[in-house]
Amino acid sequence: MTEPMSDRQVADTVLAGNRDAFRLFVERESVAVIATCRRVLRDPEEAQDAAQDAFTQAYRSLATYRGDGPFGAWVRQIAVRVAIARLSARHEIVRLDGETIDPRAAALRSSSDPEGHAIDREYRSDVLGAINSLPASQRDVVVLRFYGDLTLDEISRVTNHPIGTVKSRLSRGVNSLREQLASRSVP
Give residue 169's pLDDT: 96
**Cβ-Cβ contacts under 8 Å for 122 (sequence gap 6 or more):** none
pLDDT digits (tens, 9 = 90+) for 131-162: 888 998 998 888 888 877 778 988 888 788 99
Do residues 127 and 180 both lie within one domain? yes
Boundary of a domain, candidates 89, 107, 141? 89
Do residues 82 and 72 both lie within one domain? yes
**Residue 117: is its pLDDT beyond 80?**
no
Burial pattern 132-164, b for ≥16 Cβ within 10 A else e, equals eebeebbbbbbbbbbbbebeeebbbbbbebeee
Do residues 84 and 120 both lie within one domain? no
Do residues 184 and 101 both lie within one domain? yes
Do residues 36 and 21 both lie within one domain? yes
Do residues 98 and 112 both lie within one domain? yes
Boundary of a domain, candidates 89, 116, 132? 89
- pLDDT band for position 114 (50/70/90)? low
In terms of residue numbers, what domain contains 151?
91-187
Do residues 21 and 106 both lie within one domain? no
Give residue 29's pLDDT: 92
Do residues 85 and 95 both lie within one domain? no
Mapped onto helix, strand or coil, the DSSP state of residue 56 is helix
**Residue 61: is its pLDDT beyond 70?**
yes
Q: What element of type H or E holds 93?
A: strand 93-94
Do residues 162 and 146 both lie within one domain? yes
- Structurally, how many domains does the chain consist of? 2
What is the CATH classification number for the domain harbouring 95? 1.10.10.10
Give residue 76's pLDDT: 87
Do residues 84 and 96 both lie within one domain? no
Do residues 26 and 43 both lie within one domain? yes
pLDDT digits (tens, 9 = 90+) for 23-59: 988 999 999 999 989 888 888 999 999 999 999 999 9
Give residue 118's pLDDT: 63
